[in-house]
Amino acid sequence: MSDLPPARNGLASGWGPGRIASLAVLLAAILAPVVLGSGYQLDLLSLVLINAMFLFALDLAYGQAGLAAVGHGAFLGIGTYVVGILAVKAGWPFWAAMPIAILVCAAAGLLMGLITLRLAGHYFVIASLALAIAVGLVVSAWQDLTGGALGLGLVPRPAGVGPVSFEAPSAFYWLLLAATLLVMLVCWSLRRSNVGTRLRSIRENPRLASALGVNIVLTRLLVLVISAALAGFAGAFQSTYLGFITPSVLASNVGFYALMALIIGGQRSFVGAVIGAAFFVLVPVLLQFSSALSPVFFGLALVVVILLAPDGVWGRLRALGRWVATRTRAARGGSSARLEPGQERSLP
Amino acid sequence: MTEALTLRDVDRRFGGLKAVDSVSMTVSEGEIFGIIGPNGAGKTTLFNLISGNVSTMSGAIELYGRRIERMPVHRRARLGLGRTFQTSQLFAGVTVHENLEIAEVSSRRGVGGWLGSPTARRTVEAERVDLEAWDLADKGERLAGELTLFEQQRLALAMTLAAGARVLLLDEPSGGLVESEVHQLMELIRGIRDRGVTVLVIDHKMRLMMQLCDRIMVMALGAVITTGDPTEIAADARVRELYFGRAPVRGVERNERTGGPDPADAHTWRAGPTS
Ligand SMILES: Nc1ncnc2c1ncn2[C@@H]1O[C@H](COP(=O)(O)OP(=O)(O)OP(=O)(O)O)[C@@H](O)[C@H]1O
Ligand SMILES: [Mg+2]
């Protein structure tokens, strides 16, 4: 047993419930337009993808770096408006405006991090919220540029690449899916890199981490910048998805609800973030008859999750999956009923 | 001989309390340097000043000739300063293997040091050798928090070396260990020194300190009383006064947690180090 190298490599650690669920979700996501057609449901699913990108980004800041980014919606909103303004006012194509949105958000994240990350944690929370409110105010006030409360339109769909056009809802949906997978890949690589290892050490024991040489401020700053950039990327897609942009995309509570949704879905997990994104998009839709109910429902769901499933919905499901796997293995008379510790960690 | 660590007139007050009062000392490379003194003498505070967990009010600290007293903790660590803590000295919620991996990754530099992969440089073979050296060979996939105290101590030591420590600060490493383990610990610390690492150690177990240390510094009320080799320290009248007479010890005479100097060790003071 001890002769075997430990299975630490995510790819080598077999078929846990996480991997199976991820593949099932991916397959369902690819086939969705075929099954659903191109109506309202595909529209909602597209919105889920955009918010999944945003929650992946948010999870880097919150789940991985431990930053209570309650105002992270600001970066999503900035990305949305940068692409909107460049497209509508200056006639820029999406593919040129999107990198600018990423850069602007990264710069905003850098500035915010430089100011707050050296200070105690609650300064970051306040700054995050302040940024979200300030950006909303600026957009409402700067009417010439943003259209103010009247909004801004129309942001065209991204131009086609070669023979591929993104005008059709299904084609645009697949583009969003590709973008979502790209964001996932960035987050996954980061988590598996030395940055991910440092983040884990900071979460576990910050005093020991810095005694071993981990620069906590710099590590968090790097992750915040990447997270803000990815949120801007998601915002760029939100811009072309909406077509018509109003300041509601910058409501200061967007980040707050997104954070709740992430915790409900399950932080530090891609599947959890997708569940959170679905929750985030679908709850207001399902409770359409009374918009006042939606915040109440969010709050209740959060309380229930925190009490019954501190790792979120996905954390609970995964534990259930492990339990079932253990039972079936034991029933088959396998010698080791216990899962390798490495297996649990390497799940997506 | 190369000076590994030098302190000049280092001060630290907490309110009106002079926790460390104008301390100067020099530790040579490869030395095992002991620090003893009654509870509240300022020993741990001195370590905190050296590692950067507490900031100095005045004075200079040099690590291999480089001024470090204004640097943040992680920069001092990267220059080769390692330490263990009296409590929660591990990443308790992750495995032994991951603890070592974190320690090794935390000292990497450059773009690869950030964006490279933790497994890129550390081979399975290197880790196996490491685990065996610390007698943790079959514990790689155990959670660090589940280890026995002595196993945790060994892992903490292994981690400081994996992080590249050249000067090591050990605060009461024998705390909570039984007699036979204290003996093994002593051998491990000697082994670390033999790898060229300079060791500073605080401990209340006099027998251990007398046998282990090349030199010992005695502190009381934040100040240095004397420094010398174990025989000189055992014979010093002021030290004996401090430990066995009515010494000016701040606050309680005996610390509940550590029990203060172990009376069972008292004979080593009179007889000098036994080997
Ligand atoms: N952060 C702090 N704030 C206020 N006072 C402190 C702080 N740290 C230490 N002190 C005080 O400084 C003095 C020296 O404490 P220190 O922990 O350095 O002693 P020590 O020699 O390590 O004692 P022990 O043998 O009990 O570990 C004590 O009186 C302690 O109460
Ligand atoms: Mg102490």
Asked whether residue B183 is assigned to any structural domain, the reply reads no
Could you tell me the pLDDT band of residue B218, with boundaries at 50, 70 and 90?
very high
Centre of ligand 1 from the C-alpha of residue B40, in Å: 5
- Quickly tell me which residue has 């996905």 as its tokens: A314
Tokens of A45: 């699913």
- Residue B109 to residues A222, B29, B102: CA-CA distances in angstroms? 15, 25, 14
Among A299-303, B216-220, B251-255, the least confident range: B251-255
pLDDT of residue B200: 98
CB B48 less than 6 A from any atom of ligand 1: no
How far is Cα A194 from Cα A196, in angstroms, rounded to an integer?
5
Q: Same structural domain for residues B68 and B99?
A: no
CA distances from residue A106 to A225, A229, B243 in whole angstroms, order as listed: 5, 5, 60
Per DSSP, the three-state class of B201 is: strand
Least confident of A168-182, B46-60, B109-123, B137-151: B109-123
Instruction: Kindly state whether B126 is in contact with chain A, defined as any CB-CB distance less than 8 angstroms.
Output: no
Q: How far apart are the CA of B265 and the centre of ligand 2, in A?
A: 19
Q: Grade residue B58 by pLDDT with cuts at 50, 70 and 90.
A: very high
pLDDT at B121: 64
How would you classify residue B113: left for phi > 0, otherwise alpha for psi between -120 and 50, otherwise beta?
alpha
Residue appearing with tokens 């949305």: A80
* pTM given for the model: 0.86
Does residue B24 fall inside a structural domain? yes
- pLDDT tens per residue, range A215-270: 999 999 999 999 999 999 999 999 999 999 999 888 888 888 999 999 999 998 88
What is the rounded average pLDDT of the residues B219-240? 91
pLDDT of residue B125: 67
Task: Answer whether residue A332 shows pLDDT above 80.
Answer: no
Annotate A63-82 with b (16+ C-beta within 10 A) or e (fewer). bbbbbebbbbbbbbbbbbbb
Shared domain check, B200 and B69: yes
Centre of ligand 2 from the C-alpha of residue B272, in Å: 24
- The reply to whether B224 and B272 lie within a common domain is yes
* Residues A124 and A116: beta-carbon distance below 8 Å: yes
CB atoms within 10 A of CB A18: 24
Q: Are residues B159 and B122 in the same domain?
A: yes
Task: Check whether residue B10 and residue B72 sit in a common domain.
Answer: yes
Q: What percent of chain A has pLDDT over 70?
A: 90
Q: Does A118 touch chain B (CB under 8 A)?
A: no
For residue B100, the Cα-to-chain-centroid distance in whole angstroms is: 19
Q: Same domain for B159 and B171?
A: no
Model confidence at B260: pLDDT above 70: no
Token pair listed for A166 = 């993104």
A258/A69 Cα distance (integer angstroms): 10
Note the pLDDT tens digit of each residue in A39-74.
899 999 999 999 999 999 999 999 999 999 999 999
Least confident of A166-180, A250-264, B86-100, B246-260: B246-260
pLDDT-above-90 percentage for chain B = 66
**Domain map (residue ranges) of chain A:** 6-331
**Residue A274: HSE in the Cβ half-sphere, 13 Å Cα cutoff:** 20
Please state, in angstroms and as integers, the Cα–Cα distance from residue B160 to each residue in A145, B154, B163, following that order: 56, 10, 5
Distances (CA, A) of A4 to A10, B56, B97, B257: 16, 49, 14, 42
Ligand 1, residues B14, B20, B48, B172: which to mutate, most atoms within 8 A of Cβ? B14
Question: Model confidence at A121, in pLDDT bands (50, 70, 90)?
Answer: confident
pLDDT score, position A119: 84
Q: Sign of torsion, CA A295 A301 A305 A306?
A: positive
- CATH code of residue B43: 3.40.50.300
pLDDT, position A301: 86
Stretch B32-43: mean pLDDT:
95
B204, B268 in Cβ contact below 8 A?
no
Report pLDDT for A208: 95
Minimal Cα distance from A193: which residue of B? B117
Residues B121 and B245 reside in one and the same domain: no
Residue-wise pLDDT for A288-299, tens only, equals: 766 777 888 888
Nearest-angstrom CA–CA distance, A199 and B91:
12
Specify the length of chain B in residues: 275
Residues B56 and B171 in one domain: yes
Is residue B138 over pLDDT 90?
no
Average of per-residue pLDDT across B126-149? 85
Regarding the beta carbon of B173 and ligand 1, being less than 6 Å apart is answered no
Q: Across all residues in chain B, what is the average pLDDT?
A: 85
Residue B14 Cβ < 6 Å to ligand 1: yes
Q: Which residue among B72, B106, B117 sits closest to A209, beta carbon to beta carbon?
A: B106
Interface probe, candidates A197, A199, A220, chain B, greatest B C-beta count within 10 A: A197
Strand partners, B219: B224
A/B interface, count of CB pairs below 8 Å: 102
Asked whether residue A344 carries a pLDDT value surpassing 50, the answer given is no
Q: Measure the CA angle with vertex A74, ends A68 and A76; round to 5°.
A: 105
A295 touches chain B (CB under 8 A): no
**Average pLDDT, integer, range B143-167:** 93
* pLDDT for B196: 93
Same domain (yes/no): B33, B134: no
pLDDT of B21 higher than 60? yes
Q: Does B170 lie in the same domain as B59? A: yes
B245–A contact, CB cutoff 8 A: no
Q: Which of B105, B132, B152 best tests the A interface by mutation, with the highest count of A CBs <10 A?
A: B105
Q: Given CB atoms, is B105 within the 8 Å cutoff of chain A?
A: yes
Residues B150 and B34 in one domain: no
- CB of B261 sitting under 6 A from ligand 1: no
Q: Which of A16-20, A293-297, A302-306 has the highest mean pLDDT?
A: A302-306
In this structure, are B243 and B127 located in the same domain?
no
Instruction: Give the angle A242-A246-A248 at the CA atoms, nearest 5°.
Output: 100
Percentage of chain B with pLDDT > 70?
86
* Alpha-carbon gap, residue A252 to A137, rounded angstroms: 10
- Residue predicted with more confidence, B241 or A180: A180
In the predicted structure, residue B98 carries a pLDDT above the cut 60: yes
- Pocket flag, ligand 1, residue B255 (CB < 6 Å): yes
Q: Is residue B186 part of a domain?
A: no
pLDDT of residue A86: 96
Domain that holds residue B262: 1-80+166-178+195-275
Helix (H) or strand (E) holding A25: helix A17-36
Q: What is the pLDDT of residue B268?
A: 39
The topology (CATH level 3) of A6-331 is: ABC transporter involved in vitamin B12 uptake, BtuC (1.10.3470)
Cα B47 from chain centre: 8
Q: Which of B12, B20, B36, B43 to mutate to test the pocket of ligand 1 (most atoms within 8 A of CB)?
A: B43
Lowest mean pLDDT among A82-91, A181-190, A284-293: A284-293
Distance between CA atoms of residues A194 and B105, nearest Å? 6
Looking at the DSSP bridge assignments, the partners of residue B36 are B218
Residues 217-276 of A with CB under 8 A from B: 222
* pLDDT over threshold 50, residue A312: yes
Confidence at residue A286, expressed as pLDDT on a 0 to 100 scale: 83
Which DSSP string do the residues of B26-90 spell out, in sequence order? Answer: EEETT-EEEEE-STTSSHHHHHHHHHTSS--SEEEEEETTEE-TTS-HHHHHHTTEEE--SS--S
- Residue B106 scores a pLDDT above 70: yes
Give the pairing of strands B198-202 and B3-14. Answer: unpaired
Give chain B's domain count: 2
B91 and A197 within 8 Å at the Cβ level: the answer is no
Q: How much is the pLDDT for A289?
A: 67
**Ligand 1 neighbour B19 (Cβ under 6 A):** yes
Report the alpha-carbon distance of residue A132 to residue A258 in Å, rounded.
Answer: 13
Pick from A196, A222, A341: CB nearest B95:
A341
